[in-house]
Structure 1
Amino acid sequence: MADLPALAARWQRLTTPLVPDAARREVAFLKLTAAYEAPGRHYHTLTHLENLLNRLDAVPLLDAAVVQLAVWFHDAVYNPLKSDNEARSATLALDFLRHSTLEPARQQRVAFLIERTHDHTQPQPADDTDLLYFLDADLSILGASPADYRAYAQQVRQEYRLVPDLLYRPGRRKVLGRMLAAPVLFQTAEFRAELDAAARRNLAAEMEELG
């Protein structure tokens, strides 16, 4: 379970220098936490958000504020039956940031990072280290222990609870197969060394369980 007071403190440290209006910061925080803790969510929750922030604390980011803002908003909109979640999440981020002192180019950068999470198997710009760390952190659950990965897979299935097995199994197999076929799962050397082998074992095990 996520540490809500710690997350609140992190949000204030991040946004206070950027958004002078304390009430606006508070309303945004409440809306975000409500979104991540919505009843239909089981994996894309505040725990996932907290894990990403903690992961990214340990890597050398060039613009940590922008990456952290992207983390906060990247799953703000999450409907597993829709394909525009990332675009709508990016729009929410921009709606908040237009009241900030963040330069327009950096505001657009936040939106760009969020939108790149739409498909982790798409080619990524090799020199954009902040983006690559962000994407790798977002996928880090794939390299978790077998038990934690199994829990994650079950949580994803719960989020797709309205989809019958007849449709879910082939759809999920397609997603897993695309990731397994990718020559590179993790874009950065640090994440690749730590997680790639375990991630491929976990993905293959889930594929086998799906039949």
Structure 2
Amino acid sequence: MLTPTLAARWHALTAPLLPDAAHCEAELRRLAAAYEAPERHYHTLAHIENLLDRVGAHPLQDAVVVELAAWFHDAVYNALRADNEAKSAEWALAFLQSTSLAPARCERVADLIRRTQDHTQPQPPTDADLLLFLDADLSILGAPVAAYWAYARQVRREYRLVPDLLYRPGRRKVLAKLLAAPVLFHTPSLREELDAAARRNLQAELDAWEQGGLPAE
């Protein structure tokens, strides 16, 4: 849901880059429509708000770039496609070209978005903004147990067109890959807060799928 608070955050971020308030408002409405589409259950504006809260709680080298990446990183989300991050980056660039943001910073936004495609890939160890952004995007993994199971069910609903026969092995592969990653959270404070809980949650979901499926609500 697009709350007044979230809308205000968007306008505070974009107004200095684009004085055309109507253009900023129109882009916000486009994003809100995408994130609140009926087929979405986890990748919604609630996820964006959580990500903004997470990155906003830490010092950033370029807060504007990171917050823009947060807003656009799941703008395109089709559970049956593998190019969502690339398409989301394209959407971001299309909007940012109308702003005063320098081209290098526009490309930086797009790069942050593209890197969310696979959180288990090696990342530049000194790129603090990137590492915090990726960690914040994964923070749901370390949520309290009830919140994690709600997330797992929401993701399953986003893949509702995929039968369990196909979803189960695919999801198990994703969970196992995350569990095998030597580092889930690169930012020391988030690693301390979330890593142990995330691994417990991931293992519990993997066990559930190996035993037949998610537990009932």
Structure 1 residue 65 corresponds to structure 2 residue 46: no
> Secondary structure of the residue that 2:53 maps to in structure 1?
helix
The structural deviation recorded for 1:129 is 0.4
Q: CA RMSD in A?
A: 0.7
1:174 maps to what in 2?
Answer: 173
What is the CA–CA distance in structure 1 between the aligned matches of 2:134 and 2:146, rounded to whole Å?
Answer: 23
How many residue pairs match? The answer is: 210
**Within 5 A, what are the aligned runs for 1:121-200?**
121-200=120-199
Structure 1 spans left out of the alignment, 5+ residues = none
What is the CA–CA distance in structure 1 between the aligned matches of 2:62 and 2:11, rounded to whole Å?
Answer: 17
What is the CA–CA distance in structure 2 between the aligned matches of 1:190 and 1:103, rounded to whole Å?
Answer: 31
What is the CA–CA distance in structure 2 between the aligned matches of 1:4 and 1:62, rounded to whole Å?
Answer: 27
Structure 1 residue 74 corresponds to structure 2 residue 73: yes
What is the CA–CA distance in structure 2 between the aligned matches of 1:5 and 1:36, rounded to whole Å?
Answer: 16
What is the CA–CA distance in structure 1 between the aligned matches of 2:68 and 2:47, rounded to whole Å?
Answer: 15
1:116 maps to what in 2?
Answer: 115
> Secondary structure of the residue that 2:199 maps to in structure 1?
helix
1:47 maps to what in 2?
Answer: 46
What is the CA–CA distance in structure 1 between the aligned matches of 2:98 and 2:164, rounded to whole Å?
Answer: 44
2:7 maps to what in 1?
Answer: 8
The structural deviation recorded for 1:160 is 0.2
Q: Deviations over 1:56-109 (max 9, x none)?
A: 111111100000000000000000100000000000000000010000000000
Q: Deviations over 1:151-202 (max 9, x none)?
A: 0000000000000000000000000000000000011101100000000000
Q: Which runs of 4+ in 1 moved over 3 A?
A: none
What is the CA–CA distance in structure 2 between the aligned matches of 1:19 and 1:92, rounded to whole Å?
Answer: 16
1:98 maps to what in 2?
Answer: 97
Amino acid at match of 1:93: A
What is the CA–CA distance in structure 1 between the aligned matches of 2:132 and 2:79, rounded to whole Å?
Answer: 24
Structure 2 spans left out of the alignment, 5+ residues = 211-217
Conserved 8 A contact 2:2-2:32: no
The structural deviation recorded for 1:43 is 0.1
Q: TM-score, normalised by structure 1?
A: 0.98
Conserved 8 A contact 2:141-2:148: yes
1:86 maps to what in 2?
Answer: 85
Conserved 8 A contact 2:73-2:85: yes
What is the CA–CA distance in structure 2 between the aligned matches of 1:134 and 1:80, rounded to whole Å?
Answer: 22
The structural deviation recorded for 1:21 is 1.4
